[in-house]
Structure 1
């Protein structure tokens, strides 16, 4: 495994932010699918699997960011929060 801290800081932070953005989008899309499944009476085991999967994905993503350092972790967290706000804004537009 290569040393992530050897990468120039602006590139590392941009990559962590974009990774956090993708991670956040995947997390909140899975959360929405889980909520829809629960409301519509879907399979509880599939809902549980989606919940555990999204938590594991989020934990693994943040663990990788921790390996790159504190600033990288903050950049990844910022990406997740931006993805959350974009998805909430999208959901507000979709509801009449």
Structure 2
């Protein structure tokens, strides 16, 4: 019986965006979107996913003033939309046919 190496490594560059009430929340959602994209693209069982580089491409900040009964207690609500480029090294087991 021949032995065959099943583990493979690949490096990919992915762009992902996230929207949140804070910059940390937007980054977390972008990271989650990147992970989902990797699982969708890679055929096989992923063993390790390691971000090697992270670049911030865009940041959009929106400020909205919210008032109770359109008159009282104004407060600011911020929404952040951030776009990142991730360079990820992926170790996975290729599909066995």
Q: Which has the higher helix share?
A: 1
TM-score, normalized by length of structure 2? 0.33
Question: Which structure has more strand as a fraction of its residues?
Answer: 2
Higher radius of gyration, 1 or 2: 2
